[in-house]
Structure 1
């Protein structure tokens, strides 16, 4: 009810704000989380009749220690994978393998670099993941014509995203344990949420105007609108809803529109932007006109 929200909201907002402020101030996640817990516990004492009882606090702490122990064991099991990459120098050979086996296409080589970055970064802390992928892939990316700044952004972005992508997906593992949910279903939902952002590193490479921040000019507007439109299309295809729940063939059509927009953004030809518009706009118009009709349940 409203009273409960009024009482509980300050505890959440203030503790979360402190954690965010500490992280933005380059404090470690452990320190930020510890201060967040301390502040949340302190503010919980002023929640009136909604103040947690000592037995409930004890139960919550017991459950927290249990989850930390389980996650620690899982991370210990994942750690050797990253060490194998370093010890065997497998990471240093992957760039050469990409050039040897992939066709001479910058887009295909970047897609290969994306996959390698996701693999190399899995289960590793962010600084270590970045160092590994930078050493392994940035020289290779510069050889295929990517400027140094964009190359570093590209590999860093996907090395960080390895925390969301199977088979390791440490963040998904933690979230699934906290929610007592299926790992694969949680990974699927996390990918649906993050898929719209997977195109951003490619936008950095093929639209370097986006890297001029904070010195924004009108040249940034077209590529920014392109990225936003592709993200909107991808999101609609993933969640199957625009004005109403979409049928299977409608989602596939909008998915093709998103793919066409991605090809257009990566300099494969302006014809793909026209294809995106020709597929996306009529489908949105059709969904709007038929929004009052009984629609199927949105698929997961």
Structure 2
């Protein structure tokens, strides 16, 4: 199932396919030049980025399901040309616009209208209906604000003012969201494409098999580990499922897992890939820009939460394996760890180089550029990973095509960010969240969590984060939450929405590979992610998890209580510890886990005390049952 009711990619053939390949390769090479040797100002770079991405969208995605899936229509070719023209127009005329003191002429307005309509149509095709409709609502809100009730009302802006803001400044389509897409995000997507062509995905799978294949959960633990590793370079949950799931899901089914559970494990594990440093999803680069901090700080902050999330799924999988009596895979079916590292271990060098460059304080753009070069060089160390010309061209093509949905989503969400900035809506919503929560932080967090999950049900994770960060995060900051914790809170729930029914996009992708009922996979995937759903509350109440004001003693204590709380949540969600739990045991375990979320000696002692008592009683009951 494609994201948000969008139409499937065309399966192009012949001369059209060749043209699209050449266009995509040019797009990737142009972005490499634009982000390295070029001294182009941001708004011109953003405009050319959008023009190129719009062109690719109209050739790759049909307007409706009834349209040809093999070749673009005449209208698509017209839209292709118009899409490129709106980027070129800004590039060519922006200097004269500055000379006119940003006073637009009629031609400017024509291109502004065209840009808005084309961007919304591209969004409808490749992202789905919900985000463009939401953007249209916000544009209408900017115009007709005086019709809205109470605190939401404002005087309204003229159409000319709205068109100018949205197209001719960096406060609309060409704002921070598209800037991040045109630079960091595109370059890291391209880096991921090059790694894929060298066989890095296979290395991660073999590494995970050699390391975790003999554990009780067998291939399920392999799926969790491989998806986490793949997440360090992919930044996309659905791409993660497609890459690792095609390998791990059949293995899980082979050793005895039900198809629904096999698909759910991969979906939940792949969703966490967006949270896994060093290369997290596009939203993490947005976060660094919104907060005005170096990306490396976001990367550091994401380490413990990501490990907590994967530990939660790992524990859930282990409980399930124990419950149904599974064992690890046979040793003779597993790759030898030493051999894997000797033959493929060099493929991890580009990631290490990127890490070193980021830690040294260099920009993500710089790191991505040299990561690309390192990938090409290191792949040549062995014949089985070496990139030939065909793979090189394939990586350039795949990079541009993979960037389309992110770029278009960032452009469409630019309307929303622009309107929020124009109208001051973020402050209004923040005030209302504080009012509705009666000033209680825990209640405000629950309200923001619900809003993030509901938004995420119809939006890509990046778009969901941007909207939530623009509208809801200010409320948490006003209530005393550290800015990075407030933004991470929005980021996490926007990401986890990928496994929340009914629109669990990652689960539906996994269900197709597992040949299982999509709804059952989505429900099971949500259950597996449940233990990770409490993690954002942990780092709001304990910012030390995000590496804020770290002291060794407090960090160790926070990690220990956090891990115990995650095991307790996993046990409660899975209804199993050393045996099946009673209702009282499940409820008490959940309460004990929640108490460990909020820092403090009293709450920690109370939580640990409850869990200790339940553990002893549960163990006694199970042993008594076994003896009888």
TM-score (norm 1): 0.65
2:508·2:518 contact (CA, 8 Å) conserved in 1?
A: yes
Is 1:144 aligned to residue 479 of structure 2?
A: yes
Per the TM alignment, residue 270 of structure 1 is displaced from its structure 2 partner at its CA by 4.5
SS at match of 1:254: helix
Residue 197 (structure 1) aligns with: 532
Check conservation: 2:501, 2:523, Cα contact below 8 A: no
Give the superposition deviation at 1:183. Answer: 4.0
1:95–1:174: structure 2 CA closer, same or farther, 3 Å change rule? farther
Preserved contact between residue 141 and residue 151 of structure 1 (Cα < 8 Å): yes
Distance 2:243 2:621 in 1: 51
What do you get for the CA RMSD once the two structures are aligned? 4.1
Deviation, 1:172, is 2.1
Q: 1:290 to 1:35 in 2, by over 3 A?
A: closer
Q: Is contact 2:507–2:521 with CA below 8 Å preserved after alignment? A: yes
Q: How does 1:182-193 map to 2 (within 5 A)?
A: 182-193=517-528
- Tell whether 2:571 aligns with 1:240: no
Q: Secondary structure at the match of 1:104?
A: coil
Work out the CA distance in 2 between the residues paired with 1:33 and 1:184: 17
Count of aligned positions: 240
Pair 1:17–1:143, CA change in 2 (3 A): farther
Q: Is the 8 A contact 1:261 1:272 kept in 2?
A: yes
Task: Determine if the alignment matches structure 1 residue 209 to structure 2 residue 544.
Answer: yes
The match for 1:258 among 590, 593, 603 is 593
- Checking the alignment, whether the CA contact within 8 Å between 2:453 and 2:500 is kept in structure 1 is yes
Q: Matches of 1:237 and 1:122 in 2, distance apart?
A: 25
Q: What CA deviation, in whole Å up to 9, does each residue of 1:44-89 have, x standing for no partner?
A: xxxxxxxxxxxxxxxxxxxxxxxxxxxxxxx9xxx9xx98x95997
Per-residue deviation at 1:184? 4.1
The reply to whether residue 24 of structure 1 matches residue 24 of structure 2 is no
Correspondence for 2:623 among 277, 283, 292: 292
1:169 to 504, 507, 527: 504
For residue 119 of structure 1, what is the aligned residue in structure 2?
454
- Residues 123 and 170 of structure 1 are in contact (CA less than 8 Å); yes or no, is this contact kept in structure 2? no
Give distance in 2, aligned partners of 1:121 and 1:133. Answer: 10
Match of 2:608 in 1: 277
Three-state SS of the structure 1 residue aligned to 2:622 is coil
Gaps of 5+ in 2: 1-198, 208-225, 248-404
1:108-134 deviation digits (Å, cap 9, x = unpaired): 111111111112222322322221221
Structure 1 pair 279–32 and aligned structure 2 pair: CA distance change class (3 A):
closer
CA distance in 1, matches of 2:529, 2:450: 15
Asked if the contact 2:501–2:526 (Cα under 8 Å) also holds between the matched residues in 1, the reply is no
Give deviations 1:125-165, integer Å, cap 9, x for gaps: 23222212211122222111111111111111111011111
Instruction: Tell me what 2:30 maps to.
Output: none
Q: Which has the higher contact order (CA 8 A, sep 6+)?
A: 2
Contact 2:238 2:506 in 1 (8 A): no
The answer on whether the counterparts of 2:465 and 2:490 sit within 8 Å (CA) in structure 1 is yes
Measure the CA separation in 2 of the matches of 1:100 and 1:241.
40
Aligned to 1:60: none
What is the alpha-carbon distance in structure 2 between the residues aligned to residue 240 and residue 173 of structure 1?
25
Q: Distance in 2 between matches of 1:174 and 1:209?
A: 35
Per-residue Cα deviation, 1:162-191 (whole angstroms, up to 9, x for no partner): 111123221122233433434443333222
- Select the structure of larger CA radius of gyration: 2
Question: SS state of the match for residue 166, structure 1?
Answer: coil
Return closer, same or farther for 1:131/1:284 CA change in 2, 3 Å cut-off.
Answer: same
Secondary structure of the residue aligned to 1:243 is coil
Q: How does 1:217-236 map to 2 (within 5 A)?
A: 217-236=552-571
Q: 1:219 to 1:31 in 2, by over 3 A?
A: closer
Whole-Å Cα distance in 1 between the matches of residues 604 and 504 of structure 2? 33
C-alpha deviation, 1:23, in angstroms = 5.3
Task: Quote the Cα distance in structure 2 between the aligned partners of 1:187 and 1:144.
Answer: 34
CA distance 1:272–1:188, change in 2 (3 Å): farther
2:495 corresponding residue in structure 1: 160
Q: Is the 8 A contact 1:121 1:133 kept in 2?
A: no
In structure 2, C-alpha distance between the alignment counterparts of 1:144 and 1:132, rounded to whole Å: 19
Asked if the contact 1:165–1:191 (Cα under 8 Å) also holds between the matched residues in 2, the reply is yes
